[in-house]
A = this chain, B = another copy of it.
Amino acid sequence: MSRTVKIEKKILEKNDTIAARLRNNFAKRKLAVINIMSSPGAGKTTLLAETIKKLSGRISIGIIVGDIATDHDAKILEDAGAFWAIQINTGGRCHLEAGMIEAVMELAPEKLNLLIIENIGNLVCPAGYDLGENVTVMLGALTEGIDKPKKYPGMYRACSRLVINKTDLENALDIKADDFEKEALMVNPKLEIFKTSAKTGNGMNEWCGWIASLVNAEH
């Protein structure tokens, strides 16, 4: 077991070196960068498509989408109005690594204000890999049940913002977003929390307002 841990440590150290270089390059370009993570099916792509529709008139948004297979999410986000959208198909790997981001950033157009990295749907491994982002966001869906923050504390602690999505299903599920929020704050009391329904638009103004503020902030 100890051998495995050492190997992982080496990979993580290499990742951190590349992430630091990326962070430096993002700052030079005055590019705000978000790394958004969630379990499969929490609604990342739908939330991002709605976000892009609201903001693409004002902000030039780039998207890097990670997936094990398929490339249709990048197409959806380009159709929604992303200035640049690229898919990283990891061919089975369960998380994005800084080296993958560095490789595709060579293709990124100059004219970007905001880069959103949509990580692989996985509540474990992506939490360990710094991608050079400014802000790390966790997207939880009400449909997952309120026990998830305590079951995946590494992810909930790795993020500074939490979006609780699919709030339109509160009644059908008999789960309250407020209860999800309480559980999340027990695991990470510093979380800033948004509650959204990408389907009905509920809470999207607050979320998009915050995203826009990142672009205006200093990095």
List A residues at the B interface (Cβ < 8 Å): 4, 7, 11, 39-41, 43, 67-70, 72, 92-94, 120-125, 141, 143-145, 147-148, 150-154, 166, 169, 172-173
Contacts and interface: CB of A to CB of B under 8 A. Distances in A.
Per assembly, the copies of the chain total: 2
Contacts of A123: 40, 121-122
B169 A69 contact: no
Contacts of A143: 41, 141, 143-144, 166, 169
B152 A40 contact: yes
Given A69-B150, A121-B151, A172-B172, A145 B92 contact: no
16 contacts: A4-B11, A39-B40, A39-B121, A40-B148, A43-B145, A68-B151, A68-B152, A69-B150, A70-B150, A121-B123, A121-B151, A122-B122, A122-B123, A124-B125, A143-B166, A169-B169
